[in-house]
């Protein structure tokens, strides 16, 4: 960690991130206790909804952890966490439907998801090397190295930005599929929206956080110019 006054720039993102994490957890817990009247388990629900959309060759399996739900495009597998798989709660059907939304994005070649998938390898290397490269630039007082570090970090910011439409669109598809299923009451659907909106906020916080870190690197590099 590099300390100077610019460190205050990363505080808003950090605080927003912690707040969003806490909010998603509390919203998830609240709606996890509310069972839907229809009572269909989440994995069965998403299988039905996806097959209605023409997605039939998908695996749906349970996975360890809390809120570790994800769609793995490489194996075309939807992994649902404890508390979601096997549950008929408002939280469970919302999260499972959101992941099903990602599966639908893959099936339909949704642009931002394609770009995001292509970026993954480069971004994971770049974001790990950004700070070491930048710090070497400072140590050797060599600007091109500082800017190389900034460029590597900028890729992580772009990645974080492209994640936003991917996540919002998955939730939009989830709300639509759940509503069209005809299984749920308006109250249940409104609970789902609250759970998914809370989850979306964590991605917004993450984007703001990486953007502010980028701004900080640029400011540090510029001050080294004189």
Which residues does the annotation mark as catalytic? 99
> Which of these ranges, 21-29, 57-65, 85-93, 169-177, lies near Zn ion under the rule CB under 5 A?
169-177
Q: Residues binding Zn ion: what is the number (CB under 5 A)?
A: 2
Burial of 184 per CB tally in 10 Å (0-12, 13-18, 19+): buried
> Which of these ranges, 38-46, 75-83, 126-134, 163-171, lies near Zn ion under the rule CB under 5 A?
163-171
97: enclosing H helix or E strand:
helix 90-107
Which x/- pattern over 119-158 shows residues binding Zn ion (rule: CB under 5 A)? Answer: ----------------------------------------
Which tokens hold the place of 121?
């390898």
Measured distance CA(14)–CA(214) in Å, rounded? 14
Min separation Cβ 219 and Zn ion, Å: 32
Measured distance CA(7)–CA(73) in Å, rounded? 37
Min separation Cβ 196 and Zn ion, Å: 9
> Which of these ranges, 73-81, 120-128, 162-170, 208-216, lies near Zn ion under the rule CB under 5 A?
162-170
* Residue whose entry in the numeric block shows the structure tokens 């930005």: 161
Measured distance CA(148)–CA(129) in Å, rounded? 10
Min separation Cβ 167 and Zn ion, Å: 5
Site residues for Zn ion per CB under 5 A: 167, 170
């Amino acid at each position: 960690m590099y300390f100077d006054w610019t460190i205050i720039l990363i505080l808003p993102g950090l605080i927003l991130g912690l707040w969003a994490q806490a909010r998603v957890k509390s919203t998830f817990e609240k709606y996890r206790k509310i069972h839907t009247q229809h009572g269909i388990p989440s994995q069965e629900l998403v299988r039905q909804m996806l097959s209605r959309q023409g997605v039939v060759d998908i695996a749906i399996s349970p996975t360890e952890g809390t809120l570790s739900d994800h769609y793995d495009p490489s194996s075309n597998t939807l992994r649902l966490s404890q508390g979601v798989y096997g549950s008929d709660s408002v939280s469970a059907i919302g999260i499972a439907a959101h992941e099903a939304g990602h599966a639908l994005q893959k099936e339909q070649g949704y642009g931002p998801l394609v770009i995001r998938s292509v970026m993954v390898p480069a971004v994971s290397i770049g974001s790990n090397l950004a700070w070491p490269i930048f710090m070497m630039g400072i140590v050797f007082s060599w600007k091109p190295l500082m800017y190389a570090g900034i460029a590597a970090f900028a890729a992580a910011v772009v990645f974080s930005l492209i994640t936003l439409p991917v996540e919002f669109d998955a939730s939009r598809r989830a709300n639509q599929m759940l509503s069209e299923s005809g299984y749920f009451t308006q109250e249940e659907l409104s609970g789902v929206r609250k759970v998914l909106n809370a989850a979306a906020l964590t991605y917004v916080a993450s984007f703001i956080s990486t953007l502010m870190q980028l701004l900080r690197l640029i400011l540090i590099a510029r001050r080294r110019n004189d």
